[in-house]
Amino acid sequence: MRPSYLQQLIRRVEVVVDDDCLWTRETSTLLSIMLKHILSLSKTSAAIRSYSWTAAYPFTGLVFPNLQQLDCGAVGPQSIEWVRWHLNHCVSLAEVHLSFTLSCNLTQARAAALFNHANFSRVERLSLAFTNVALFDPKNVLALKALDLRYCPGAEAFCRQLALVVPPDLTEVRIVAHAESGTPDNFTAWLRSARNVEHVTLCIGGLSEAIPFEQVRGHRSTLRTLVLDPRQNVVDPSSVLKYRPGDLRDIVEQCASLQTLGLPLDLRNYQSHLRYTRSHQIVRPRIASYPFGVRGLPTDLSL
């Protein structure tokens, strides 16, 4: 049964799977049959504005030409062409969140073809995981306000180009990546050209020294979130490179708008008479060595 009133109201397709749920291809197939039955009329599929499917084997039985938000948490060989169609044809896309499986086998050239031919002219929020972005041209995302790159090969090369063409409204950047150069410079260079940055989260591996605060300092009046997690190995929390209590003091004193702070501290030589009080403006202090969860986002480490 497919009541017409239901079709007229549907604007969003969202599939949420619990962590302890066993999600199989058969489960996805069954749900896809149901969705296709409900959404098969052209007017219904054209009315869909948001598609979110973070489980494996996403529904690809229909296309949604007027999507504004596309969120696929497990893009594989069976769904990549479906994703490509929407990236190329949905002119109203404002949010794109894509995570690719290893079986997708996106080479540097294939990834560049996918992203550089996409219609990103209106995309304001872009999140990519497990895909090569070395040849992704930042000029294609000039409307960007928020960028999230997690475990993307070539992230350092992309950030190096980003520093040359920083989108004017870019205020939020989250990156989990390995530094091929061994330094964090390419991951912070964009801060020199950016304006009014509010949220910076950097978990960078391959380093031998901590990420300097100097580049962030230029945004101290607008910065609301700062997470710096330098590591020798990006996937090994125990390899974290720690800051001194004095670094914490400098950051808190200079960043008047700071609300969230994630910083690994070395307190081994901490003297009892040197106590740094938290600034009153930090309403959700987060000070820890491991500010990243499974999907690369800060976990709740409130003291």
Q: CB atoms < 10 A from the CB of 173, how many?
A: 24
Q: What is the C-alpha separation between 125 and 21, in angstroms, rounded?
A: 29
Neighbouring residues of 204: CB distance < 8 A, sequence distance ≥ 6: 175, 176, 177, 178, 179, 184, 187, 211, 229, 230, 231, 234
The pLDDT score that the predictor gives to residue 279 is 46
Percent of the chain with pLDDT over 70: 84
Full-model pTM: 0.83
More confident residue, 183 or 9: 183
Residue 299 has pLDDT above 50, yes or no: no
Average pLDDT over residues 65-84: 92
Q: What does each C-alpha distance from 183 to 179, 244, 247, 295 come to in angstroms?
A: 6, 19, 19, 24
Q: How would DSSP label each residue in 286-297? A: B--S--B-TTSS
The pLDDT score that the predictor gives to residue 4 is 59
The pLDDT score that the predictor gives to residue 164 is 96
The pLDDT score that the predictor gives to residue 269 is 66
Percent of the chain with pLDDT over 90: 62
Sheet order of strands, 50-53 included: 12-15, 50-53, 69-75, 95-100, 125-129, 146-150, 172-178, 199-205, 225-230, 260-262
Task: Dump pLDDT digits (tens) for 14-63.
Answer: 777 777 777 777 777 777 777 777 776 667 778 889 988 877 777 777 88
Residue 293 has pLDDT above 50, yes or no: no
Dihedral over Cα of 98, 101, 104, 110: its sign = positive
β-pairing, 12-15 vs 95-100, is unpaired
Q: What is the C-alpha separation between 237 and 113, in angstroms, rounded?
A: 34
Of the listed ranges 9-13, 91-95, 171-175, 177-181, the one predicted with least confidence: 9-13
Task: Dump pLDDT digits (tens) for 256-285.
Answer: 899 999 999 988 765 543 554 444 444 444
Domains and CATH numbers, the chain: 10-262 (3.80.10.10)
Residue 207 has pLDDT above 90, yes or no: yes
